[in-house]
Amino acid sequence: MTRLTLTARQPFNFLSVVNSHGWGQLAPFRFDPETETLSYVYRFANGRVDELRLNAAPSGVEVGVKGRHSKAELGELRQAVTWMAGLDQDFGPFYAACRGEPKLARARTLARGRLLRCPTLFEDALKTLFTTNTLWAGTKNMSAKLTAAYGTPLEADPAQRAFPTPAQIAASSPAAIQETVRAGYRAPAVHQLAVRVASGELDLEAFKTSSLPTPKLRKELMKLNGFGPYAAANLLMLLGRHDFIPIDSLALSAVSVEWYRGRPVTAKHVERRFRKWGEHRGLAFWFWDWQADQ
DNA sequence: GGTAGACCTGGACGC
DNA sequence: GCGTCCAGGTCTACC
């Protein structure tokens, strides 16, 4: 077993990352609450597949992976986990903005702000697509079925698979994806995204380091088939851009209970309530202590 | 710019 | 076991 200890910018809380949103429940992630271990079946750039085991370390994250690995593989692993757990993200300006707001009083003490991410934006994009117009059980199902149908198996335990690459999905067809993944009308969008990325026509990963202003980046994301305002805002949050709020039905309901005595509200009401948080809008919304949660 | 309806799946419910 | 209803964002057509 190889063990790496990666240091995070402080404050950092491993469980806050794991529990930041539901990604830890989506294949090929798996979380064991007893040991507080987050597992992920990772596919290296050279095609090798291994299971990563992530645990809290005093100053960041400890990564365990079976077998011997080359220097290049370990370097790739460091880079991947740093991205996934947002180890180098700085939330100082957000915490400063939270001062004086009781509804965000716990943000700094719990080191909230980081959102668990997948190694590739392609995987985050497909999972975001799987959250649209369905219940959470459906999102989990579609992620699990896509991984099981197209991902490369782990040699030691073939029941476990890595998330499929764009090429693996592109080699299939929308009809096959609809049938095996039960993705419904989303299947053509899933296949089209995979084909565009696999062919090199679309460099999704470049969005991670894009210098485009957030509104322009949002426009680019909304050009993708199946990505409307909610999905684009969700991906922007994962990219560390927090200017837009992913407004779904739960968001409308939470804002309705919080400020409008349960009366129906629209996206404009949500935006109005969080306008003052500027570039931290998404974070303020995401980590707000909602009445509806109590 | 706003609204209505179609797109799919799976869970809940009634019979 | 079967049929019906409902929740969930995006897209398109229409006003």
pLDDT per residue, tens digit, chain A (294 aa), is: 899 999 999 999 999 999 999 999 999 999 999 999 999 999 999 999 999 999 999 999 999 999 899 999 999 999 999 999 999 999 999 999 999 999 999 999 999 999 999 999 999 999 999 999 999 999 999 999 999 999 999 999 999 999 999 999 999 999 999 999 999 999 999 999 999 999 999 999 999 999 999 999 999 999 999 999 999 999 999 999 999 999 999 999 999 999 998 888 999 999 999 999 999 999 999 999 998 666
Å between CA of A165 and C1' of C4: 39
| CA A228 – CA A17 distance, rounded (Å) | 26
- The pLDDT score that the predictor gives to residue A112 is 97
Nucleotide nearest the Cα atom of A135 (by C1'): C8
| CA A140 – CA A127 distance, rounded (Å) | 9
**Protein-covered nucleotides on strand C (Cβ within 7 A):** 7-11
Question: Nearest residue to B6 (CA, C1')?
Answer: A185
Å between CA of A161 and C1' of B13: 36
Å between CA of A132 and C1' of C8: 7
Beta strands in chain A (DSSP E): 2-7, 29-32, 37-43, 49-57, 60-65, 153-154, 157-161
- The pLDDT score that the predictor gives to residue A291 is 83
**Residue pair A172/A191 in contact by the 8 Å Cβ criterion:** yes
How far lies A196's CA from each of A137, A171, A172, A200, A244, in Å?
28, 12, 13, 6, 26
Å between CA of A133 and C1' of B15: 29
**How far from each other are the two terminal CA atoms of chain A, in whole angstroms?**
42
**Residue pair A6/A63 in contact by the 8 Å Cβ criterion:** yes
How far lies A202's CA from each of A35, A137, A195, A209, in Å?
39, 30, 9, 15
DSSP 3-state assignment of A112? strand
Nucleotide nearest the Cα atom of A134 (by C1'): C8
**Residue pair A234/A252 in contact by the 8 Å Cβ criterion:** no
Indicate the DSSP class of residue A242. Answer: -
